[in-house]
């Protein structure tokens, strides 16, 4: 197997979920959270899955899978413990170029679902390549412990300040013909370009300490200062002259 890790945009993507038991419950929760348009095909639903139908978050066809049911879907997920059904659904989906996942049935999967730890904007996916679900769950527990309030705040802070950096980039780009757009990608010679290493250096013990103490605004001020985005934009020609390049 050669699994390539990705985070897949599922907003309004039509997804077929075959099965209505406990495994279906595990899958539908994440699908709905991601904004997928879920259709369920199953003779019966457990109450936990039924609530998604009652809340208008999924459509339910109360019957067994039939040939042609994969039409119109971009993703198919099979949540049954019947290998014959898994293969029937997978064969039909694959013949139409539709990606399919079958729970605990690697032979009928085009992709597997990682164990996911998520808080705020941060999501950490772990996988054992399908070899050990128990280990994947253990790893998820460890990652959930790692995602402390401090780490979540750090994620929020970096996202907020990155918006300010992008605004500054656009301002610089508006007066420069060397910028690549979109989005503004400042040239390597630009004195206003923030190197990736500077971001890493800015996430230091002092910054994390402020977040740990709940001092978000002070942490934001420190990050802005560390990245020097509170300073006026530098003129590229003047900067080159100062450096002796002109």
Between CA 127 and CA 114 the distance in angstroms is 5
Q: Does the pTM exceed 0.85?
A: no
Write the pLDDT tens digit of every residue in 57-94.
999 999 999 999 999 999 999 999 888 999 999 999 99
Q: How many CB atoms lie within 10 A of CB 153?
A: 19
pLDDT at 182: 64
pLDDT at 161: 96
Beta bridge partners of 118: 123
pLDDT at 239: 47
pLDDT at 184: 67
pLDDT at 176: 79
Q: How many CB atoms lie within 10 A of CB 214?
A: 11
pLDDT at 132: 85
Q: Which long-range contacts (CB under 8 A, 24 or more apart) does 237-243 make?
A: 239/191, 240/189
The token pair that represents 18 in the structure block: 């075959």
pLDDT at 99: 96
Listing DSSP states for 11-76 in one string gives: TT-EEEEE--SHHHHHHHHHHHHTT-EEEEE-S---HHHHHHHHTTSEEEE-S---TTTTTT-SEE
Between CA 184 and CA 167 the distance in angstroms is 9
Stretches where the chain sits below pLDDT 70 are 1, 180-184, 236-246
pLDDT at 19: 96
Judging by DSSP bridges, how do beta strands 115-119 and 75-78 pair with one another? unpaired
What lies within 8 Å, CB to CB, of 229 at 6+ separation is: 161, 164, 165, 168, 194
pLDDT at 1: 60
Longest dimension (CA), the chain: 77
Between CA 7 and CA 58 the distance in angstroms is 22
């Amino acid at each position: 197997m050669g699994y390539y890790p990705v985070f897949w945009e599922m907003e309004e993507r039509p997804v077929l979920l075959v099965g209505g038991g406990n495994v279906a419950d595990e899958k539908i929760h994440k699908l709905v959270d991601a904004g997928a348009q879920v259709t369920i095909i199953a003779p019966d639903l457990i109450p936990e899955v039924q609530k998604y139908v009652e809340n208008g978050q999924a459509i339910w066809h109360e019957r067994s899978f039939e040939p042609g049911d994969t039409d119109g879907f971009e993703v198919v997920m099979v949540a049954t413990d019947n290998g014959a059904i898994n293969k029937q659904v997978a064969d039909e989906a694959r013949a139409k170029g539709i990606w399919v996942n079958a729970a605990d049935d690697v032979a009928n999967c085009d992709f597997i679902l990682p164990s996911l730890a998520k808080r705020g904007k941060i999501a950490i996916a772990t996988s054992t390549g399908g070899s050990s679900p128990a280990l994947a769950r253990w790893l998820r527990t460890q990652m959930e412990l790692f995602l402390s309030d401090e780490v979540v705040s750090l994620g929020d802070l970096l996202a907020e300040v990155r918006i300010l950096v992008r605004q500054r980039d656009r301002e610089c780009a508006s007066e420069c013909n060397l910028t690549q757009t979109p989005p503004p990608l400042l040239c390597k010679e630009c004195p206003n370009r923030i190197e990736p290493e500077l971001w890493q250096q800015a996430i230091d013990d002092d910054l994390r300490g402020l977040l740990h103490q709940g001092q978000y605004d002070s942490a934001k001020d420190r990050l802005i200062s560390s990245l020097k985005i509170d300073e006026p934009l530098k003129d590229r020609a003047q900067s080159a002259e100062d450096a002796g390049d002109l």
